[in-house]
Amino acid sequence: MTSFPRLLALSLGTALLAGCAGAPPPLPAPPPPPAAWSVDDPAIAVGEVRLDWWHAFGSPELDALVARALAANHDLAAAEANLRAARALAGEVRRARGVSGGAGAGVQRLREAAQAQPPVFVTPEPFPDQTIANLGVDFAWEIDLAGGNAATARAAGAEADAALWERRRTEAAVAAQVVRAWLDCARAEQLASLLRQRLNAMDRMLAIGAARAARGAALASDIAPLERLRAETAGELPLLDLAARNALRRIAVLTGEDPVAGARTFAAGDPRAPATPQALTVQDPRQLLRLRPDVQIAEARLIAVYERAGASRAALYPSLSLGAGAGLLAAPGALDEAGAFRFSIGPSINWGIFNLGQVRARIRASDAASEAAAAQWQGSLLAALEEADGAIDAWRSARSAAASAEAARNAAARAAATVRARARAGAASAFELAEAEADLLAADAGVIVAMANQREAWANVHLAIGAGWRQA
């Protein structure tokens, strides 16, 4: 008979042979990112990125809207709940590596089958009914010498990290969507206000043209093109008002409110003039990857898959467990007698030797999943660099276009000033003056659009570099 010390030594020796089985395959090395962006502009500085970047627009209203969205957005609430669930599951897996067991008590009324017992003297008569009480505790502990349980716990921790970065990605996206909707509303309101001024200027031109036609100094066909342009311009106003209402609807949904009521809050008034940041601070590409939630999610899931691939190898080897238990088992009135005490203690070995083909198939599947996760991770790195570098380049181009629009507006302003001076001297007609004022307003509209594009491009850069989430 094998003694307990020999059985324990055999169990430990067998498990020690499997000690390297839980080691996951090596993680792939990431491709080295470049040290600098492709865009070289004096307005772009390398430094610490401000996560709450929307404060640069200088609008308390926008700051309050983003704060409301981060507190009440339903997508963010779902991501937060998923994070709590992932952390709870990771804690469950970690605690499962320790000693398990519990206490129990029960009473049974039973009868053993007499026919199942071997006869001693005569054919056994039916056994009497019995009432048995059971009271005890039992413990079990699986010794993780193969590393499978530890790898599973690390995989669960990596999944919790992925859920954290998923919450951060949702948070950054919600903040960016609020900013974009607010910028869209501001753009529409500014353009609508300027469009009303243009319509007033056209109305003055039409009134002058009608007076000239009444005196016979102009033909009705001379006024028709201006009437057509005025009608086309007026048709743009309802679309701008609709764009503003749609932006308010989006803001209402993002802040967890009724979009119908949000659209009703629209009232044409003084347009908002958001500040347009003229400088951009970004980290170099080597630091960018620490901010991008999607890159961090891909990395965390890669680690989880590789850890599970390592855990799958532990099934090739025997598992060693230690168990212990003690209690009382007797009739309810005899639990205090000496013969009621029971106990058990000792190791156990389990080896699914006839299932190794299935285990190796699972290992091959895990390795293939690891390769897929590695490819996705490396692809996310390149996509992040592409998106960030393109967004920075787009901001530089939008900034240059805004400067050109401003130059065109200044030229139109000088032309209008010249016509005003000529009109005061009697060398220019009221029609020419109204026409110059309308051209200046059109140039102002070009500046509004160009500056709005620059603000949107500035916001897109911060979303592309991964800013917008909170540390907490």
Instruction: For residue range 256-282, list pLDDT tens digits in order.
Output: 988 888 777 766 555 667 888 888 888
Residue 228, sorted as left (phi over 0), alpha (psi -120 to 50) or beta, turns out to be: alpha
Contact between 144 and 49 (Cβ < 8 Å)? no
Residue (of 435, 439, 441) closest to 204 by Cα position: 435
The model's pTM is 0.81
Contact between 348 and 318 (Cβ < 8 Å)? no
Q: What is the pLDDT of residue 423?
A: 76
Give phi and psi for 346, each to the nearest 5. Answer: 155, 165
Instruction: For residue range 34-63, list pLDDT tens digits in order.
Output: 778 888 888 888 888 888 999 999 889 999
Residue (of 73, 69, 139) closest to 104 by Cα position: 139
Residue 136: half-sphere exposure toward Cβ, Cα within 13 Å: 18
Find all residues with CB under 8 Å of 414, minimum gap 6, and list them: none
Contact between 115 and 293 (Cβ < 8 Å)? no
Tell me which DSSP letter residue 44 carries.
Answer: E
Number of neighbouring beta carbons within 10 Å of residue 244: 24
**Secondary structure of the chain: what % helix, strand, coil (to 5)?**
65, 10, 25
H-run or E-run covering 344: strand 341-350
Residue 170, sorted as left (phi over 0), alpha (psi -120 to 50) or beta, turns out to be: alpha
The fold of the 4-108+129-464 domain, in CATH, is Outer membrane efflux proteins (OEP) (1.20.1600)
Give the integer Cα–Cα distance in Å for 251 and 69.
Answer: 8
Q: What is the pLDDT of residue 268?
A: 59
Within 18-73, residue ranges assigned H as helices are 60-72
Give the integer Cα–Cα distance in Å for 181 and 252.
Answer: 10
Q: Take residue 314 and report the two structure tokens written for it.
A: 């532990």
Contact between 131 and 329 (Cβ < 8 Å)? no
10-residue block means of pLDDT along the chain (472 residues)? 42 42 58 78 85 90 92 94 92 84 87 68 66 87 83 92 94 94 90 86 80 72 76 88 91 90 69 82 80 90 91 86 87 82 86 85 89 89 90 93 93 89 78 80 88 93 89 70
Residue 167: half-sphere exposure toward Cβ, Cα within 13 Å: 20
Give the integer Cα–Cα distance in Å for 115 and 149.
Answer: 46
Domain boundaries, the chain: 4-108+129-464
C-alpha gyration radius of the chain: 38
Residue (of 392, 141, 134, 363) closest to 285 by Cα position: 392
| Buried-state track 127-149, b at ≥16 Cβ within 10 A, e below 16 | eeeeeebbbbeeeebbebbbbbb
Find all residues with CB under 8 Å of 107, minimum gap 6, and list them: 131, 132, 133, 134, 332
Q: What is the pLDDT of residue 77?
A: 94
